[in-house]
Amino acid sequence: MKYDFTTIMNRHGMDAIAVDAVGSEMGGAPHAPKDGFDVIPMWVADMNFATVPTVQEAVIERAKHPAFGYFIPTEEYYQSIIRWQETRNGVKGLTRESIGYENGVLGCVVSALTAFAAPGDKILLHSPTYIGFTYSIENSGYKIIHSPLKQDENHVWRMDYDDMDRKLKENHIHVAVFCSPHNPCGRVWEQWEIEKAMEIYRDNDCVVISDEIWSDIILNGNKHIPTQSVSEDARNRTIAVYAPSKTFNLAGLVGSYHIIYSKYLKDRVDANGSKSHYNNMNVLSMHALIGAYRQEGYEWVDELCQVLGKNVNYAWDYIQENFKGVQVSKPEGTYMLFLDCSQWCKSKGITIDELLKAGWDVGVAWQDGRSFHGPWAIRMNLALPFSRVQEAFERLQKYVFKI
Ligand SMILES: Cc1ncc(COP(=O)(O)O)c(C=O)c1O
């Protein structure tokens, strides 16, 4: 490997919730481990890898210049995105007119909702559901209607198209949030699945906010299909949202972007995002994106996906062999495992709280999956050096699933 995915980074005191909020009062934070165990951060969705060096180079280079006045995004910024989308996702014909800055993907989700739905309106989402959607959508006054994903006979999470159609109709819904790849289930939707979903959205006159923040983290030979690519109609009814933040560990710099081809949709989203003057880019975040999307970034992400693929395969095999009664669908993208511990807990007479705590006690800082709508679920972040993932699973085997 050209890049370093094995060094264990010390993030303490370096602005990292993942390690510094463990043992704090923060909602959902894992408890501190017992003496003798260090924390293995497996909850917050960021990575314990150093980002590609070109990010730091670009930010430092810009920071050497001692003025940080008002600015507009450079042509290089737009061209970096256009090149990235073309090379990684096969997107043709993207121009800067269709790209817009967003202060976070969730910020765009809410801007788009306010453009196409009124507070009190219902919005369709799949469940399990990323907790950030739940909070930002409900806190903004919208009601979420869930269409549950269902596991097929091979434990692959699938959309229930009839249920989606029925709920859109029954609830007069005209905006849906689609998560592709899906967090927390790790599905990388296939072309036919997206086509079918988009037909249902079309038939119900539904604007689609397609959150593709995970689209670069695709594992084990799977392929991301941009929602907008599946048909001309999908291209024109979709607000797609991307970011280098998940891919390159840049969430603390903030800097996402939308791609919207329909002039009507774009004008409405831009109007909401821009009028408050609350949605402006930070100059260092612009340079971070440009640094990330340099040639080195392409190689770095390829290596990252190999590392994550290995971690996921290891964890999945380990669970099949050692944690009988824990069920997990193998993620095709993202770096999240979504464990269903219902059988295991019931067979042992243990609550999910007790199981979570048993992991936290030995430093496995995993996350309560109930807030993602998995009643017996635990979410585990595998974006750590392999040695840490191994250590976590060995501790779970020795101290937790032995109970
Ligand atoms: C599906 C999904 N969307 C959005 C976000 C957050 O994006 P942002 O920090 O750009 O708002 C996350 C973070 O985990 C996520 O998993």
Per-residue confidence of the chain (403 residues) as pLDDT tens digits? 999 999 999 999 999 999 999 999 898 899 999 999 999 999 999 999 999 999 999 999 999 999 999 999 999 999 999 999 999 999 999 999 999 999 999 999 999 999 999 999 999 999 999 999 999 999 999 999 999 999 999 999 999 999 999 999 999 999 999 999 999 999 999 999 999 999 999 999 999 999 999 999 999 999 999 999 999 999 999 999 999 999 999 999 999 999 999 999 999 999 988 888 889 999 999 999 999 999 999 999 999 999 999 999 999 999 999 999 999 999 999 999 999 999 999 999 999 999 999 999 999 999 999 999 999 999 999 999 999 999 999 999 999 998 6
Distance in Å, CA 103 to ligand 1 centroid: 11
198 close to 233: Cβ distance less than 8 angstroms: yes
45 lines ligand 1 (CB under 6 A): yes
256 lines ligand 1 (CB under 6 A): yes
Question: The tokens of 402 are what?
Answer: 């032995």
Distance in Å, CA 105 to ligand 1 centroid: 6
Predicted local confidence at residue 274, as pLDDT: 84
Question: The tokens of 399 are what?
Answer: 């101290």
- Using CA positions, which residue lies closest to atom 10 of ligand 1? 104
CA nearest 208: which of 230, 227, 185? 227
241 lines ligand 1 (CB under 6 A): no
Predicted local confidence at residue 351, as pLDDT: 97
Dihedral of alpha carbons 80, 81, 87, 93, sign:
negative
Name the residue of 134, 136, 179, 213 to mutate for ligand 1: max ligand atoms within 8 A of Cβ.
Answer: 213
**Which residue shows structure tokens 């260090």?**
38
CA nearest 355: which of 41, 130, 131, 31? 31
CA nearest 119: which of 139, 142, 145? 142
User: For 148-178, what is the HEC assignment?
Assistant: ECEECCCCCEECCHHHHHHHHHHCCCCEEEE
Name the residue of 130, 279, 379 to mutate for ligand 1: max ligand atoms within 8 A of Cβ.
Answer: 130
Distance in Å, CA 131 to ligand 1 centroid: 9
Dmax over CA atoms of the chain, in Å, equals 63
User: Cα–Cα distance between 107 and 99 in angstroms, integer?
Assistant: 15
5 lines ligand 1 (CB under 6 A): no
CA nearest 33: which of 386, 367, 365, 395? 365
- Using CA positions, which residue lies closest to atom 14 of ligand 1? 45
286 CA to centre of own chain:
20
Query: Element (H or E) spanning 367, and its range?
Result: strand 367-368
Q: Which amino acid is at 236?
A: N
Predicted local confidence at residue 276, as pLDDT: 82
Query: Element (H or E) spanning 114, and its range?
Result: helix 105-116
List CB contacts of 111: < 8 A, sequence separation 6 or more. Answer: 102, 269, 272, 273, 279
User: Cα–Cα distance between 378 and 393 in angstroms, integer?
Assistant: 14
Q: Which atom belonging to ligand 1 lies closest to the Cα atom of 45?
A: 14
Question: The tokens of 21 are what?
Answer: 């909020």
Distance in Å, CA 361 to ligand 1 centroid: 28
Q: Which amino acid is at 129?
A: T
Q: Where are the beta strands (DSSP E) in 168-216?
A: 175-179, 207-211
User: Cα–Cα distance between 44 and 360 in angstroms, integer?
Assistant: 14
Predicted local confidence at residue 402, as pLDDT: 85
User: Cα–Cα distance between 105 and 256 in angstroms, integer?
Assistant: 6
Predicted local confidence at residue 262, as pLDDT: 98
Query: Element (H or E) spanning 127, and its range?
Result: strand 122-127
Predicted local confidence at residue 387, as pLDDT: 98
Q: Which amino acid is at 349?
A: G
251 lines ligand 1 (CB under 6 A): yes
CB neighbours of residue 378 within 10 Å: 25
110 lines ligand 1 (CB under 6 A): no
179 lines ligand 1 (CB under 6 A): yes
Predicted local confidence at residue 140, as pLDDT: 97
243 lines ligand 1 (CB under 6 A): yes
User: Cα–Cα distance between 350 and 361 in angstroms, integer?
Assistant: 16
Q: Which amino acid is at 230?
A: V
105 lines ligand 1 (CB under 6 A): yes
Q: Where are the beta strands (DSSP E) in 220-263?
A: 238-242, 256-259
Predicted local confidence at residue 337, as pLDDT: 97
Using DSSP's 3-state secondary structure scheme, residue 239 falls into: strand
Distance in Å, CA 369 to ligand 1 centroid: 16
